Structure 1
Amino acid sequence: MQFIVSLDLSVVNVGLPQIAVGLNFGTSGLTWVIHAYALTFGGLLLLGGKAADTYGRKRLLLLGLGLFALASLAGGFAQEPGHLVAARAAQGIGAAMLAPAALALLSGAFPSGRARVRAYGVWSATNAAGGAFGVLIGGVLTEYASWRWVMFVNVPLAVGALLLAVRGITPGPPPAHRGRPDVLGGVLATAGMTLLVFGIVRTDRYAWTSAVTLTTLAAAVALLAAFLYVERTTTREPLVRLGLFAHRAIAASNLFNLLAGAAMASSFYFVSLYLQNVLGKAPALSGLMFLPFALGVVLGSVAAVKLGHLLAPRTLLAGGGLLTAAGFLWFSRIDADGSFALDVLGPSLVVSIGFGLCLGPVVSLATAGAPPHEAGTASGLLAASRQLGASLGLAVLGAAAHGRTEEGQTGAGVTPAALTDGYAYAFILGAALLVAAALTALTLLRPTGPSAHSWAHSRSPEQDGPADAREPDTTIKGGPR
């Protein structure tokens, strides 16, 4: 299921030029094919995580998968720009329902021990592989079939995952309803997150200092501040219990995830542009050139499983972050007259292996720090921080790269050298974000205690809360309880 969500974040990008021609999109309207998904997915993740804890994780997961499949089918048959944008928004709603529920199920099925390390190793590998293969699949389908297949491809994947979920996940006892839900908090959080993502992604059209952007971001901050106030004072069941952030593991892992997500989302974007706009590679071939990245993430995830029994999570996060930053600095040396072998292959492997080392530990820490009955909420927080980081990173680094490119333009227009200089500058900024993420792990995560020794001991008894408050875990059939 995580593979499907990651795949959909990248599979559409390669087909955007053909989508514009096929449905007569305008230049500004085309961006909403991406923004519609990002807005609903990012805006509803907190609500999706809370709903999974409140109404049952399997139930919400199945509903999310069904909606995702139907929206993908509708998008493939779209005849007007508005039809596709609406389908992408519905896809985002489905993804916001299923992603936190799936991760909470994984956390409940593997609460500790070596099985937890292996489970998160597999999760992290498929998560990143979905993004990398999305570029490859999108390029192949766009070039040899039709842009419509970048939507249709989700349908058999979602149906297959739906069948596996029905057969492989036990429903478990009904979740305990602890009080009336905080509807006002849900509205404020959803509106604030959606408006924040909206303000960020629209910086491609309105400058950061423009009245439109400043007003939008100010309104988003006001809504989120009101949400925090409501959560502190409400007598109802809060959407997010603010005490969760008192756990160092949860606070640090979400901040790490936001910073690393900002850098990694931009790396896919700029490498793809460099391959096509500077090196002149076709979409299908450009997608194929992302395979080493997927392989590197798998290698990094396997290494994290091996090292997870020996090293503290903070060590893996800091080491992986610094290794990824080194790969970004290598990327910053790309040349307008370069080649895939010299300028892309080597740094891709360094970046992907470093990123693979980080993925499993950060997810394990973010979910292990929460009581079992709040695993869905913690999962939604982690996914929201990643989505917010991706949106923010693309907006900020994209604007920085565009500004550097404009500085290097000549009378003949935009040259490959000017484009390359802009991309290289963005990679330097991405490296700085990753160094900041590594410092976050070193300074905020405890060097001692049960969670410091390995992933296998990342849940301490006092974090689970009183025994009578714990919710029985929904467990994968055949997996350890």
Structure 2
Amino acid sequence: MPPAVPHDARPARWRLAGGPALALLAGCQLLLVVDASIVNVALPSVQRGLGFTDAGLSWVVNAYTLAFGGLLLLGGRAGDLLGHRRVFAAGVAVFTAASLAGGLAASPGWLLAARAAQGAGAALAGPGSLALIATTFEDGPRRSRALAVFSVAGSAGMVVGLVLGGLLTAWASWRAVLFVNVPVGAAIVLLAPRVLRESPGREGRFDVAGALACTLGSTLLVYGFIRAAERGWNGGLTVGAFCGAAVLLALFPAIEARAAQPVLPLRLFGDRDRVGAFLMRLLLTSAMSGMLFFLTLYVQRVLGYGPLATGFGFLPTTAALIAASRAVPRLLPRYGPQPVMAAGAVLCAAGMVWLTQVSPTSSYVTMILGPVLLFGAGTGLVAVAATFVAMASVPAGESGATSALLQSMQQIGGSLGVAVLITVNGAAARGGSQVDGMRGAFTAGVAFTAAMLVTALLGFRRRSGGHGRSGGQERSGGHGRSGSQIWRRSSEK
């Protein structure tokens, strides 16, 4: 296996390819996240076109989410062992071919199979896209900016999907929301060998037992949340899925401790800041996914907006997210992750508390615009900071596993948030009106944002010395360098 190429020994063309490489990787991340939400607006047209039942229609979204979330850890480890560019390109190719097949679907089963294949391709491509940033950009401001752009692309994807889905469905047909992936995906596959440097693979075997345990356990966990959102928490399949997930995920650490090449190295959990970043990502996505789900319903059912106007109504979220994210590379080296994430959590909580005041007579300007701006700014701070912290000082050859775990938190959090808020909405609506149910859902969302704030205050090491210096000599990831040292060095370059 060829040795890793030192940063200062790379050919000049790799150092000059940062712009195209970043556009390719961030574009791929945006594409994968967009596809989780782009079909939402098109679902009524899909139902009319292919004859889906009401129960089956939800699986147009769930088939993608289930495959994506369940296979992420396996996809990340495959990149660590085989080379991230190779696995990344293969994943995008599978995703693109499945998008074409889905656009041509002539029956419900055909479309669902294509959506599951899209999710499998996304699970291969997603971890590699973040891991490749580490092999393309040198430590310092350039990598910091690249991580910020990548994080924004992922966080904004859910909102962009709503807008793009509305445009394509209104101007063309539901098939366009799948066909649009084909030229973009084909371009990424063709350009990847030209602008991305391959990461060195590692000798070793796949951890088959660990891969099965984490894949089946993650899949059952995501399915349990999906089922709970659809049928409640007491159904036999829901309880069975959660029990199966609990058993497999409880066995997983014991399997990994014995594996020579574990699919998820347990030492990644040895850094307190990294664990806090994973938890922040889980809670943020739980709150954001539930908020977007019910705000979409409120804007259409109560305010009477059409799908296209609804999508555009969320654009301020993306604008605020981008504006806040630009400050994170400057704030982290100076203050460390704790105050940055705490500030983001406070903004998200303020936006969610504001939404608990919705009423049938509220307007977009008085009740929607302010909360989505606050939530967008908070998301920009938390999402970018969490990505920086999670990827700081990752041991060589484990960036794929770390990236996959971070993105798994996003997928599991999204399913958890929707399931919990739907449950609370149903209970509140039974004792009142549709808007009462939504107020109850947003109140549950406040709990997620409050948990974010508690995690930000208690889950990270305090910094001292003015530039993010750690108060002690704590080791991180086996390298003896804390994330704060990485940020300090980046700011000094």
User: What residue in structure 2 maps to residue 414 of structure 1?
Assistant: none
Equivalent of 1:149 in 172, 176, 179? 176
Letter in 2 for 1:56: G
Q: Assess, with a 3 A threshold, how the Cα gap between structure 1 residues 141 and 111 changes in structure 2: closer, same or farther.
A: same
User: What residue in structure 2 maps to residue 427 of structure 1?
Assistant: 442
Name structure 1 gaps, 5 residues minimum. 409-417, 468-480
TM-score, normalising length: structure 1: 0.90
Instruction: Report the Cα distance in structure 2 between the residues aligned to 1:187 and 1:295, rounded to whole angstroms.
Output: 40
Equivalent of 1:252 in 266, 276, 281? 276
Letter in 1 for 2:357: R
Deviation of the 1:344 alpha carbon: 0.8
SS of the aligned residue for 2:62 comes to helix
Q: Show the 5 A alignment for 1:278-357.
A: 278-357=302-381
Instruction: Report the Cα distance in structure 2 between the residues aligned to 1:93 and 1:451, rounded to whole angstroms.
Output: 44
Deviates more, 1:95-104 or 1:128-137: 128-137
1:225 correspondence with 2:244: no
Deviation of the 1:92 alpha carbon: 0.4
Instruction: Report the Cα distance in structure 1 between the residues aligned to 2:349 and 2:448, rounded to whole angstroms.
Output: 8
Q: Which has the bigger relative contact order, CA under 8 A and spacing at least 6?
A: 1
Equivalent of 1:135 in 162, 173, 183? 162
Contact 1:40 1:93 in 2 (8 A): yes
SS of the aligned residue for 2:173 comes to coil
TM-score, normalising length: structure 2: 0.88
Deviation of the 1:303 alpha carbon: 2.5
User: What residue in structure 1 maps to residue 79 of structure 2?
Assistant: 52
User: What residue in structure 1 maps to residue 458 of structure 2?
Assistant: 443
Instruction: Report the Cα distance in structure 2 between the residues aligned to 1:461 and 1:155, rounded to whole angstroms.
Output: 47
Q: Show the 5 A alignment for 1:5-154.
A: 5-110=32-137, 112-154=139-181
Identity of aligned residues (%): 39
Letter in 2 for 1:194: T
Instruction: Report the Cα distance in structure 1 between the residues aligned to 2:160 and 2:359, rounded to whole angstroms.
Output: 25
Equivalent of 1:161 in 188, 199, 223? 188
SS of the aligned residue for 2:397 comes to helix
Deviation of the 1:7 alpha carbon: 0.9
Deviation of the 1:461 alpha carbon: 10
Q: Show the 5 A alignment for 1:201-280.
A: 201-234=226-259, 236-280=260-304
Letter in 2 for 1:3: L
Offset from partner CA, 1:351-379 (integer Å, 9 cap, x none): 10111111111011111142131011000
Deviation of the 1:55 alpha carbon: 0.5
Contact 2:334 2:466 in 1 (8 A): no
Instruction: Report the Cα distance in structure 2 between the residues aligned to 1:195 and 1:150, rounded to whole angstroms.
Output: 28
Letter in 2 for 1:227: F
Instruction: Report the Cα distance in structure 2 between the residues aligned to 1:183 and 1:111, rounded to whole angstroms.
Output: 33
Letter in 1 for 2:202: A
Instruction: Report the Cα distance in structure 1 between the residues aligned to 2:339 and 2:347, rounded to whole angstroms.
Output: 12
1:176 correspondence with 2:191: no
Offset from partner CA, 1:302-343 (integer Å, 9 cap, x none): 122343343211211111011111011111112212221111
Letter in 1 for 2:274: I
SS of the aligned residue for 1:231 comes to helix
Instruction: Report the Cα distance in structure 2 between the residues aligned to 1:379 and 1:222, rounded to whole angstroms.
Output: 24
Root-mean-square deviation (CA, aligned residues, Å) is 2.1
Offset from partner CA, 1:233-255 (integer Å, 9 cap, x none): 33x31111112111112211111
Letter in 1 for 2:131: A
Instruction: Report the Cα distance in structure 2 between the residues aligned to 1:449 and 1:241, rounded to whole angstroms.
Output: 30
Equivalent of 2:386 in 330, 339, 362? 362
User: What residue in structure 2 maps to residue 407 of structure 1?
Assistant: 431
Deviation of the 1:450 alpha carbon: 9.8
Offset from partner CA, 1:61-85 (integer Å, 9 cap, x none): 0001111111111101100000110
Letter in 1 for 2:401: T
Contact 2:82 2:201 in 1 (8 A): yes
Instruction: Report the Cα distance in structure 1 between the residues aligned to 2:134 and 2:287, rounded to whole angstroms.
Output: 26
Instruction: Report the Cα distance in structure 1 between the residues aligned to 2:349 and 2:339, rounded to whole angstroms.
Output: 15
How many residues of Structure 1 are paired with residues of Structure 2 in the alignment? 452
SS of the aligned residue for 1:373 comes to coil
Deviates more, 1:66-75 or 1:326-335: 326-335
User: What residue in structure 2 maps to residue 198 of structure 1?
Assistant: 223
